[in-house]
A and B are shown apart, each in its own frame.
Chain A
Amino acid sequence: MRKNKRNFLNNAVTYGMVIVAFLLCELAISGLIGGFKMSRSLKGQLVPICVYVVMAVSLNLTVGFSGELSLGHAGFMSVGAFSGVLISQWLGSAFPDIPSLARVIAALVSGGIFAGIAGILIGIPVLRLRGDYLAIVTLAFGEIIRNLINCMYFSLDGKSLHFGFNNPNLAGKLVINGPMGATGVNRLASFEVGFVLVLFTLFVVMNLVNSRSGRAIMAARDNRIAAEAMGINVTKYKMIAFVTSAVLAGMAGALYGLNFANTAAAKFKFDTSILVLVFVVLGGIGSIRGSIIAAALLTILPEVLREFGDYRMLVYAIVLIAVMIATNSPLLGNLFNRIRPHRMKPGKEAGKA
């Protein structure tokens, strides 16, 4: 039970951190913090920050808790983005007086559902593989999704929805325009919705991890043979982790799609998967709080580095390398341990006496 209390505290700190960050941002937007006014470009980054935080936390479920390296996370994001945009645009044209919040929620839910279906379809073949092979195959599936979406055309004609595969000549106004992606989207995403989505993601992931299913997921990661001998259906729990992660990525994608008037299919390339993986690794594999911080900081960093002009991405890469080295250095680790208040460990206390 002591462990439960520790979990509770740990989760409370994570929620608290997100809520405080949100409130600070809100204050900065309204200019209430003395002299500091958030720049326009920084304000534009608020929704992407929420999106990438959700992406990082959900990928952490696969990579950190389930122990499977997935390199196709952006694929689920794109499924979520385009299905979410489609649904919200369709709702907007079919029922003009529906409130925009309902359209956003419908977009998030449908993004999650479609990405979840994609997760199930991809998970069935992929989760038979292990280790490096699994990573490579998820990468391939991510590319397949992107290429499929490249060929898809959806158009809206009043209430009816038309679909064309490799055929842009459809009646009405094109919503998903092949390689051009989503065009002419009503920008419905807001920082507040993003914040709620982040909280929802944290709620799902942290509760899942601290439950019967979560323990089974981690047992399957730590020792597959022992987990099976204890009657745990390893494939089922790997699937649960993979699909949950895909659903959350899809919701993040839907929010992302609603944040821009145009989103090209190429946005969800392999690079985006790697970027999210970098957040997870930098924040510490299996550490939810680390994923949040890393995702937020690394999304802002390119904006902050604007003054370096052409050398921006170079500096970004150098900062990345420096942080990776620093977090792995035992010297700094010791320093952190000294600063951090020591927790009482039952084992150590008994040893001293």
Chain B
Amino acid sequence: MTQQQKKKFNADTRMVPVPSQAIVPERDINEQPVLVASHLGIEFGGLKAVDDFNMIIGKTEIAGLIGPNGAGKTTVFNLLTKVYQPTSGSVLVNGKDTAGMNTVQANKLGLARTFQNIRLFSNMTVEENVRIGLHNQVSYGLMTGIFRLPGYWKGEKKQHEMALDLLSLFDMQKMADVKAGSLPYGAQRRLEIVRALATHPSLLLLDEPAAGMNPHETEELMENIIKIRDQFQIAVLLIEHDMNLVMGICEGICVLNYGRVIAKGTAEEIQRNPVVIEAYLGKQSAEEEAQG
């Protein structure tokens, strides 16, 4: 696609109303979708890791991205957050094109994420981790910090209060002074979510948030994700292998296999879809399932 064509293409899709066939919850139909990814793709030396990925996420939707291992789910996250630059297609966040942006700019536009392999600042305390998330929310200049001008004290106080507020979402305010690296696994995953929330996103991308959690913790996490959506009025896109979680809270689900979308729909539709069953369990099982 030449540059000019690309621009035209973006202009056409800039303010798309939600297409009728798109799956967004009814309450979001008249709102601008938070994310519109169209024909997104990336090649690594000829290998198409993700190809023709299309997705629309409503303003307050909880969406799921599932697929077998190596299907390209995390690559999609990296494309959306601009860790990789897509080789084709476009991503609109709140109607704004992210072409040519970097990770920092994508974050400022409203995309915040967690990581599959936890990436906390493990030598810093829990509170400091959240404060890093608040970096662009409560800001004061370099010199204000060095010379301890009034703005410093105001900013630090505000950051402290906001950090504790956010931590209280997961009842973690008591751990504020503990080193992030010494937290138990489940708490580290929760802290990553809090840290991402601190950047004031409009779309929260969670990469396997329930990995390593026990059923009880997963249950709690599901409630919390819904709570976060309701309280902050934001959309959530999550990658998860725990089908109870995905089927339990996701309003729209997208199934990826070999870098391509093979199915989209609500939880029931996905569960009944023979293509999905085949991708997960193999062809024979899919046939048995259809017969039985």
Main secondary structure of the interface of A (DSSP, over half): helix
- Interface-forming stretch among A175-183, A216-224, A300-308? A216-224
Task: Tell me, yes or no, whether B168 is within 8 Å of chain A by CB.
Answer: no
| Complex Cα gap A230–B198 (Å) | 9
Distance in Å from the Cβ of A239 to the closest Cβ of chain B?
11
Task: Tell me, yes or no, whether B224 is within 8 Å of chain A by CB.
Answer: no
Distance in Å from the Cβ of B67 to the closest Cβ of chain A?
22
Cβ-defined contact, B145 with A211, below 8 A: yes
Chain B residues bordering chain A, tally (CB within 8 A): 44
Cβ-defined contact, B152 with A211, below 8 A: yes
| A/B pair count, beta carbons within 8 Å | 101
Task: Tell me, yes or no, whether A226 is within 8 Å of chain B by CB.
Answer: yes
Task: Tell me, yes or no, whether A261 is within 8 Å of chain B by CB.
Answer: no
| Complex Cα gap A232–B139 (Å) | 12
Chain A residues bordering chain B, tally (CB within 8 A): 31
Task: Tell me, yes or no, whether A309 is within 8 Å of chain B by CB.
Answer: no
Q: Which residues of B contact A219 (CB under 8 A)?
A: 121, 124, 132
Task: Tell me, yes or no, whether A145 is within 8 Å of chain B by CB.
Answer: no
In residues 145-199 of chain A, which contact B (Cβ within 8 Å)?
none
| Complex Cα gap A177–B263 (Å) | 76
Task: Tell me, yes or no, whether A204 is within 8 Å of chain B by CB.
Answer: yes
The residue among B119, B178, B196 with the most chain A CB atoms within 10 A of its own CB is: B119
Task: Tell me, yes or no, whether B113 is within 8 Å of chain A by CB.
Answer: yes
Task: Tell me, yes or no, whether B10 is within 8 Å of chain A by CB.
Answer: no
Q: A229-B113, A231-B135 are in contact. Are A2 and B177 (CB under 8 A)?
A: yes
Cβ-defined contact, A228 with B103, below 8 A: yes
The 8 Å CB contact of A207, one of B136, B139, B146, is B146
Task: Tell me, yes or no, whether A330 is within 8 Å of chain B by CB.
Answer: no
Cβ-defined contact, B104 with A228, below 8 A: yes
Q: A3-B127, A212-B155 are in contact. Are A218 and B102 (CB under 8 A)?
A: no
Q: Closest 4 A-B residue pairs measured CB to CB?
A: A211-B145, A231-B107, A226-B119, A228-B103
**What are 19 A-B contacts defined by CB distance under 8 Å?**
A2-B177, A3-B127, A212-B135, A212-B138, A213-B142, A215-B124, A226-B115, A226-B119, A227-B132, A228-B107, A229-B83, A229-B112, A229-B119, A230-B112, A230-B199, A231-B135, A231-B136, A231-B199, A240-B142
